[in-house]
Amino acid sequence: MIDIREGDFLVVGSDSYPVKAVEEWTKANWNSYAFKHMATVTASTTRNPSVASGKRGTQAENLTGLSITPLDPVTQEIRERLALEGPHRLLETFIADSSGFVHVIIEDLKQ
C-alpha cells in the first residue's frame, strides 16, 4: 500500500491539505489503463518527522509525482463510516501504485 498516513499533507498545486484518513481501496475494479485516464491531477505528500515515527530527528518521507483523481467532496456515508467530524469541508481522492489503490480523505481548511 502507498505510504500515506493520517497527519501527512497532500500537496496539490500550491495548496496543502491535511490527510484525515487513508484506507486501502479494495472495491476498485479499475485496471491501470483506466485509472491513468481518471488520475489527471499531480500531487505530492509531505510528512512531519514526528508523525513518521513519534521520534524527533527522523527523516520525513515525502512522495512526489503522484497521479491522483480530482478532489471531490465526500458523501455523508463516508463521513459516517469513517467517523469523521469537523467544521471544514472534506474531500476525497484515489491514488494508485503497483501495490494497489488507496482512498485518501483530506480536509479543505480554506472553506
**Cα distances (Å, whole numbers) of residue 51 to 19, 69, 75, 78, 93:** 12, 25, 28, 24, 21
> Does 52 map to a domain?
yes
Q: Are 106 and 88 in contact (CB under 8 A)?
A: no
Domain-embedded: residue 91: yes
Give the whole-angstrom CA distance, residue 22 versus residue 105.
6
Mean pLDDT of 78-107: 86
Question: pTM above the 0.75 mark?
Answer: yes
Domain carrying residue 32: 9-108
pLDDT band for position 41 (cuts 50, 70, 90): very high
Does any domain span residue 2?
no
- Region 28-54: mean pLDDT is 77
In a domain, 77, yes or no: yes
pLDDT at 82: 82
The domain tally of the chain equals 1
Q: Average pLDDT, stretch 62-68?
A: 91
